[in-house]
């Protein structure tokens, strides 16, 4: 199908641009120096220790040199470039990993796959995650195989997605909604407003797809949490996901107080990327460690750590190769233990798992190919629910559309999208809304976050004045300031010249002390 083939081409173009930029950063000394200055790279980071993580991952701890700035955060994908000491000929070694821990003078990187950390020091720089592009392309390839438009071998041979769902998502079939039940829905969150309740009710009545349009500050997260609880209450198995770790952890943290024997969740992903402490105990890695099989795996990891210490002390080339062979054997044994309860990579964890409902939060910020990774985990009768706001910022991508910049979207003036995408900024949320019209969505209309004066502008120009603030949450009027005011627009005037000085080399000013407003 043209739309899928076009998305694969766009994903390939995005990957090529990301790889070109990364290669330029690695091979261009000027670019690397610029990354070092802003803290996104560290030169000559000394390897202090190497240990074995869950699933056989090698976790290396690097020491920062004096005067180095460090802006990398836990969960950032990085690339480490160093001279290999295992072969004796100082071969250049490039390893990919994820920052798992940071400190004032050290940081740790968890390297994926069968990476052997055989260098004494390395340059560590932030990079793009190649796994993301692999998963998007694999999902699109599986989708082509499922609808019979590809002769390529798909990575998953047992897709179960229903034909009716595919017709709505790809072929323009109008989505249908069942008749509302005579018995009213018993909402678990009694604080929901009418628009939130209507959105949940419409999703529960959907036969295939429904959208939740949540402008900023309208309680979209609470609505999604209520929807998930209602689905679980009806016996559905739910896959809840989002385009970023922050979005997923925010939802998981909101679900945590409502956990019970019937409502449990497992956070799939690298523990170093989890942003909420209350969610960390629900990650797959932590659950694996506390299991019986996890205790056996810990013994294997201890043996691997001992082997790593021998490798670091060994000076003979032949003996080091033998120890590396032992590490490969131990990794294979550890993975065989892990497979008794799960596999350590999330992509394979969910390979044979299917769900009754797919809920994607912040879907208007997710590339459509990313959404298909989750949607292909649907059962034949599964439903898909997308929550987002197409009037906010689109996904951030490196590739640009060859066409001209589209006009600004408003609630009733959205540009018509073509069936064949020309840019990755066109999301699945956008395309479904453009294809099926407003009947597929429910809009949340009570705004809780902004002051009425601030909310007035976006409500008028983007949401057709359908975004009133919650009256009781409006703060009292701001008291008149004692400082002089501009006569033209009645705005307080603050003279910065008496409390600031010019910085050397430009016209910027540096304040001597904080300004009291």
Per-residue confidence (pLDDT) for residue 485, from 0 to 100: 54
Q: Could you tell me the CA-to-CA distances from 363 to 261, 311, 478 in Å, in that order?
A: 29, 47, 37
What's the pLDDT tens digit per position in 246-276?
888 889 889 989 988 888 888 877 666 676 7
**Of the ranges 214-218, 294-298, 482-486, which is most confident?**
214-218
Per-residue confidence (pLDDT) for residue 336, from 0 to 100: 45
Residue 317 has pLDDT above 60, yes or no: yes
pTM of the prediction? Answer: 0.72
Per-residue confidence (pLDDT) for residue 155, from 0 to 100: 45
Residue 361 has pLDDT above 80, yes or no: yes
Look at 220-234, 255-269, 378-392 and tell me which has the smallest mean pLDDT.
255-269
**Of the ranges 72-86, 164-178, 484-498, which is most confident?**
164-178
Residue 85 has pLDDT above 70, yes or no: no
Residue 339 pLDDT grade (very low, low, confident, very high; cuts 50, 70, 90): very low
Residue 323 pLDDT grade (very low, low, confident, very high; cuts 50, 70, 90): confident
- Name the pairing type of β-strands 378-388 and 355-360: parallel
Residue 228 has pLDDT above 90, yes or no: yes
Per-residue confidence (pLDDT) for residue 311, from 0 to 100: 74
Strand (E) or helix (H) holding 299: helix 292-313
Query: 2-27 vs 368-375: helix axis angle to the nearest 10?
Result: 110
DSSP letters for 377-424: TEEEEEEEEEEE-TTS-----SS--SSPPPPPP-TT-PPPPPSS-SST
What's the pLDDT tens digit per position in 458-511?
888 888 888 877 654 445 565 555 555 555 656 655 555 555 555 444 455 555
Residues 44-67, mean pLDDT to the nearest whole number: 78
Residue 161 has pLDDT above 80, yes or no: yes
* Cα separation, 160 vs 325, whole angstroms: 40
148 contact partners, CB below 8 Å, separation of at least 6: none
* Cα separation, 511 vs 517, whole angstroms: 14
104 contact partners, CB below 8 Å, separation of at least 6: none
What's the pLDDT tens digit per position in 395-450?
888 776 544 344 456 555 555 555 677 888 889 999 999 899 989 999 999 888 88
Residue 359 pLDDT grade (very low, low, confident, very high; cuts 50, 70, 90): very high
Look at 221-230, 356-365, 377-386, 460-469 and tell me which has the smallest mean pLDDT.
460-469
**Of the ranges 303-317, 359-373, 498-512, which is most confident?**
359-373
Return mean pLDDT, the chain: 77
Per-residue confidence (pLDDT) for residue 469, from 0 to 100: 74
Per-residue confidence (pLDDT) for residue 343, from 0 to 100: 28
Per-residue confidence (pLDDT) for residue 442, from 0 to 100: 94
Proportion of the chain above pLDDT 90, given as a percent: 16
Query: 130-146 vs 368-375: helix axis angle to the nearest 10?
Result: 60
Proportion of the chain above pLDDT 70, given as a percent: 71
Closest residue by Cα to residue 132 from 366, 324, 362, 339:
366
**Of the ranges 62-66, 118-122, 235-239, 334-338, which is most confident?**
235-239
Residues 60-74, mean pLDDT to the nearest whole number: 79
Q: Are 93 and 82 in contact (CB under 8 A)?
A: yes
Residues 227-232, mean pLDDT to the nearest whole number: 94
Residue 222 has pLDDT above 90, yes or no: yes
**Of the ranges 33-47, 193-207, 419-433, which is most confident?**
193-207
Per-residue confidence (pLDDT) for residue 170, from 0 to 100: 87
218 contact partners, CB below 8 Å, separation of at least 6: 195, 444, 445, 446, 447, 448, 467
What does the block give as tokens for 458?
């976006």
In this structure, how many other beta carbons lie within 10 angstroms of the beta carbon of residue 223? Answer: 26
* Cα separation, 81 vs 73, whole angstroms: 19
Q: Are 52 and 326 in contact (CB under 8 A)?
A: no
């Amino acid at each position: 199908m043209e739309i899928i083939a076009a998305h694969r081409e766009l994903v390939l173009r995005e990957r090529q641009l990301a790889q070109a930029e990364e290669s330029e950063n690695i091979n261009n000394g000027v670019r690397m120096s610029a990354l070092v200055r802003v803290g996104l790279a560290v030169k000559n980071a000394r390897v202090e220790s190497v240990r074995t993580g869950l699933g056989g991952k090698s976790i290396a701890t690097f020491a920062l040199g004096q005067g180095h700035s460090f802006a990398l955060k836990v969960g950032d994908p990085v690339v480490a470039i160093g001279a290999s000491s295992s072969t004796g000929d100082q071969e250049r070694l490039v390893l990919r990993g994820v920052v798992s821990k940071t400190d004032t003078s050290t940081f740790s990187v968890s390297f994926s796959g069968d990476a052997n950390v055989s260098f004494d020091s390395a340059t560590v720089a932030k990079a793009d995650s190649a796994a993301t592009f692999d998963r998007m392309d694999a999902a699109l390839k599986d989708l082509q195989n499922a609808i019979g438009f590809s002769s390529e071998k798909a990575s998953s041979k047992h897709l179960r997605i229903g034909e009716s769902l595919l017709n709505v998502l790809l072929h323009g079939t109008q989505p249908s909604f069942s008749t509302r039940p005579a018995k009213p829905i018993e909402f678990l969150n009694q604080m929901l407003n009418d628009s939130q309740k209507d959105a949940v009710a419409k999703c529960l009545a959907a036969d295939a797809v429904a959208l939740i349009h949540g402008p900023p500050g309208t309680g979209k997260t609470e609505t999604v949490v209520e929807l998930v609880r209602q689905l679980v209450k009806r016996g559905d198995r739910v896959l809840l996901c989002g385009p970023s770790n922050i979005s997923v952890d925010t939802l998981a943290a909101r679900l945590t107080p409502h956990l019970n024997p019937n409502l449990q969740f497992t956070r799939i992903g690298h523990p170093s990327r989890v942003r909420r402490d209350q969610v960390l105990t629900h990650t797959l890695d932590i659950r694996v460690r506390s299991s019986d099989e996890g205790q056996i795996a810990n013994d294997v990891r201890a043996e691997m750590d001992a082997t790593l210490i021998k490798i670091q002390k060994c000076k003979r080339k032949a003996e080091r190769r033998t120890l590396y062979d032992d590490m490969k054997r131990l990794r294979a044994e550890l993975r065989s233990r892990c497979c008794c309860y799960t596999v350590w990579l999330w992509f394979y964890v969910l390979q044979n798992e299917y769900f009754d409902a797919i809920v994607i939060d912040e879907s208007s910020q997710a590339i459509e190919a990313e959404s298909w990774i989750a949607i292909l985990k649907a059962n034949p009768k599964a439903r898909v629910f997308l929550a987002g706001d197409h009037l906010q910022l689109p996904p951030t991508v490196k590739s640009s559309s060859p066409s001209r910049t589209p006009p600004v979207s408003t609630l009733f003036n959205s540009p018509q999208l073509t069936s064949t995408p020309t840019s990755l900024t066109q999301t699945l949320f956008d395309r479904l809304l453009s294809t099926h019209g407003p009947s597929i969505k429910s809009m949340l209309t009570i705004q809780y976050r902004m002051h009425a004066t601030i909310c007035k502008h976006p409500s008028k120009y983007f949401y057709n004045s359908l975004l009133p603030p919650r009256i009781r949450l409006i703060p009292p009027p701001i008291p008149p300031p004692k400082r002089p005011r501009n006569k033209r627009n009645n705005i307080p005037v603050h003279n910065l010249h008496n409390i600031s000085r010019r910085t050397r080399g430009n016209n910027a000013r540096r304040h001597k002390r904080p300004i009291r407003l």
